[in-house]
C-alpha cells in the first residue's frame, strides 16, 4: 500500500503559499475537462499551464493532493450497500492488523479511531462496498478471519438514510478544507 | 442513466480514472491512448458521466489535514422522538459535511470539516450545546488506507 500516512508525518506540509492556495480554490470543484486542463486552471489564477502542472505535481508528491481522479457515485454504479465495519481489536495488534485488513480487496478506507467505552468498544474502522448486504457480509467475513483471536467483537453499520451530504467544499479566501476523500464514510 | 446504460468504453473510463490522471501536459490524450479512444471522445464521455451524476466529481482529492484543516468522524445517541430536530440542528452547521443515519445505539454519524484543526473541539462544544447531547468524537489515530475503487 502506498497510502499509509502516519500521524507523525502529519503537519509537515501544511504551509501552502498563495499560488498553491489559488490552485486549490480553482480546482476544488473539479479539474476542467479540456485538452489542456493545466492551462485552463492557469487562466483562472494568472499562471502558466506549466507552473500549474509543476505545482500540482509538487502537491501530489507532498501528499497534499492524494491523486487526481474520478469519484464515482456509489449508488449510480449499483453499490447500494455501503457498510462501515467496526472492530474491537487488541491495542497491541491494531497497527499490524490494520495494515493487513487495509490491503484486502474491497476495503476503501481504513482507520484506527478512539474507543468510547462502554457505548463504543470499537477501535478499527473499515468501509466496505457491495451491490447487496450479502456482498458486504461476505467481505466482512474475510476481514474477520484475518483479524483472528485479536478481534473481540465487530459490527456492520449500514447507512440507512443520508441526512446531509454537502461534501467538504468551502468557497472561502482561505481554502483550508477542500474536497477530500472522506466521502466513503457514507 | 443507470449502470446498465454504461457501455464498455464508459466502464473502462470509470475504472481507469479512479486510479488517477497522469500529471503530464495533455493528460486526457494520454489516458485516451491507453484506452484506444480519441482525446475528444474521452473528454466528451467524461463530461457526460459527470453531468449525469455517474461521477460525483472529477478532480484533485485533497488531504484535508495537510491543507491545515480539521477533519473528524463523530456520532450521537439521538432519542427517536428528537431525531428530526437534531438532524435539522446539524444541517445548520456548515462544518457538518456529511451526516448519515446508521442502525446502532449511536444512530447519527457525521463528518466535521473545519478550516483549522483548532476549530474541531470548538465545533464539538457548539454541537453539544445546541443539541444537549454528548458528541462521541472519533478522530482518526492512524490511517491505513484511503482508496475508493468501485469496479464497473
Give the closest of A67, A72, A157 to B55, CB-based: A72
β-pairing, B70-76 with B108-114? antiparallel
Closest-CA residue to B137 (of B121, B115, B114): B121
- C-alpha dihedral (A2, A111, B137, A176), degrees to nearest 10: 10
| Residue A174 pLDDT | 39
Model confidence band, residue B35 (pLDDT cutoffs 50, 70, 90): very high
- Average pLDDT of chain A is 84
DSSP-based three-state secondary structure for A9: helix
- How high is the pLDDT of residue B26? 97
What is the model's pLDDT at position A77? 87
Q: What pLDDT, on the 0 to 100 scale, is given for residue B2?
A: 52
Check residues B2 and B75 and name the one with the higher pLDDT. Answer: B75
pLDDT in tens, A39-49: 999 999 999 99
Mean pLDDT value across residues A1-14? 36
Residue B91 touches chain A, beta carbons under 8 Å: yes
CA angle B23–B24–B26, rounded 5-degree value: 120
Domain assignments of chain A as residue spans, ordered by start: 14-71, 81-158
Residue A88 has pLDDT above 90, yes or no: yes
Nearby residues of B152 by Cβ (< 8 Å), 6 or more positions away: A72, A77, A78, B3, B6, B11, B14, B15
The pLDDT, as a whole number, for residue A7 is: 31
State yes or no: cis peptide before A118, omega within 30 of 0. yes
Contacts of B79 (CB under 8 A, 6+ apart): none
Q: Is the ipTM of this complex over 0.85?
A: no
| Closest CB from B65, B67, B110 relative to A16 | B67
**CA B48/CA A18 separation, integer angstroms:** 33
Closest chain A residue to B44 measured between Cα atoms? A33
> Cβ contact (<8 Å) for A163 and B53?
no
Q: What is the pLDDT of residue B38?
A: 98
Percent of chain A residues topping a pLDDT of 90: 63
Q: Is A24 on the interface with B (CB under 8 A)?
A: yes
| Chain-chain contact of A182 with B101 (C-beta, under 8 angstroms) | no
Using 50, 70 and 90 to split pLDDT, how confident is the model at A166? low
Instruction: Tell me how far CA of residue B104 lies from CA of A114, A156, B123, in angstroms.
Output: 17, 9, 24
Average pLDDT over all residues of chain B: 92
Examine domains A14-71 and A81-158 and report if their fold is the same. Answer: no
User: Would you identify the CATH topology of the domain A14-71?
Assistant: Arc Repressor Mutant, subunit A (1.10.10)
State the greatest distance between any 2 C-alpha atoms of chain A, in Å, as a whole number. Answer: 58
pLDDT tens digits, A13-47: 456 889 999 999 999 889 999 999 999 999 999 99
B101: nearest CB among A49, A77, A161? A161
Q: Which of B32, B120, B145 to mutate to test the interface with A (most CBs of A within 10 A)?
A: B145
- Mean pLDDT (whole number) for A122-144: 95
How much is the average pLDDT of B62-76? Answer: 89
At the top level of CATH, which class does the domain A81-158 belong to? alpha beta
Could you tell me if A117 lies within 8 Å of chain B, comparing CB atoms?
no
Using the beta-carbon criterion (under 8 Å), do B104 and A157 form an inter-chain contact? yes
Backbone angles phi, psi at A56, to 5 degrees: -70, -35
Residues 3-22 of B with CB under 8 A from A: 3, 13-14, 17-21
A110/B144 touch (CB, cutoff 8 Å), yes or no: yes
Question: What is d(CA A9, CA A5) in angstroms, rounded to the nearest whole number?
Answer: 7
Distance from CA of B35 to the nearest CA of A (A): 15
A8 and B CB contact within 8 Å: no
What is the mean predicted confidence (pLDDT) over B50-70? Answer: 89
For residue A185, give the nearest of B60, B73, B90 by CB distance. B73
Q: Is A148 left (phi over 0), alpha (psi -120 to 50) or beta?
A: left
User: Is residue A72's pLDDT more than 80?
Assistant: yes
What does the pLDDT read at residue A16?
80
| Average confidence (pLDDT) over A43-66 | 96
Amino acid at each position: 500500500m502506498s497510502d499509509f500516512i502516519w500521524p507523525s508525518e502529519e503537519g509537515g506540509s501544511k504551509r501552502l503559499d498563495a499560488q498553491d492556495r489559488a490552485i486549490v480554490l480553482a480546482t476544488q470543484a473539479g479539474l476542467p475537462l479540456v485538452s489542456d486542463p493545466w492551462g485552463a486552471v492557469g487562466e483562472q489564477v494568472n499562471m502558466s499551464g506549466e507552473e500549474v502542472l509543476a505545482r500540482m505535481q509538487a502537491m501530489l508528491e507532498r501528499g497534499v493532493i492524494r491523486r487526481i481522479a474520478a469519484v464515482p457515485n456509489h449508488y449510480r454504479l449499483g453499490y447500494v450497500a455501503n457498510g462501515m465495519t467496526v472492530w474491537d481489536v487488541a491495542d497491541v495488534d491494531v497497527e499490524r492488523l490494520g495494515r493487513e485488513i487495509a490491503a484486502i480487496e474491497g476495503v476503501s478506507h481504513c482507520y484506527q479511531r478512539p474507543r468510547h467505552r462502554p457505548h463504543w468498544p470499537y477501535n478499527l474502522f473499515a468501509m466496505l462496498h457491495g451491490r447487496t448486504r450479502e456482498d458486504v457480509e461476505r467481505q466482512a467475513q474475510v476481514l474477520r478471519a484475518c483479524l483472528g483471536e485479536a478481534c473481540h467483537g465487530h459490527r456492520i453499520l449500514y447507512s440507512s438514510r443520508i441526512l446531509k451530504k454537502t461534501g467538504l467544499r468551502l468557497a472561502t479566501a482561505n481554502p483550508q478544507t477542500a474536497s477530500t476523500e472522506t466521502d466513503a464514510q457514507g | 442513466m443507470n449502470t446498465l446504460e454504461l457501455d464498455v468504453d464508459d466502464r473502462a473510463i470509470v475504472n481507469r480514472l479512479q486510479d488517477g490522471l497522469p500529471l503530464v501536459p495533455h493528460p486526457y490524450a494520454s489516458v485516451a491512448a491507453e484506452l484506444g479512444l480519441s482525446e475528444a471522445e474521452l473528454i466528451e464521455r467524461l463530461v457526460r458521466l459527470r453531468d449525469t451524476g455517474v461521477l460525483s466529481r472529477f478532480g484533485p482529492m485533497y488531504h484535508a489535514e495537510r491543507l491545515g484543516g480539521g477533519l473528524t468522524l463523530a456520532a450521537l445517541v439521538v432519542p427517536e422522538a428528537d431525531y428530526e430536530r437534531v438532524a435539522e440542528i446539524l444541517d445548520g452547521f456548515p462544518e457538518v459535511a456529511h451526516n448519515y443515519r446508521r442502525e446502532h445505539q449511536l444512530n447519527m454519524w457525521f463528518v466535521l470539516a473545519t478550516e483549522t484543526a483548532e476549530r474541531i473541539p470548538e465545533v464539538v462544544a457548539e454541537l453539544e450545546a445546541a443539541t444537549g447531547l454528548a458528541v462521541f468524537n472519533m478522530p482518526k489515530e492512524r490511517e491505513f488506507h484511503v482508496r475508493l475503487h468501485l469496479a464497473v
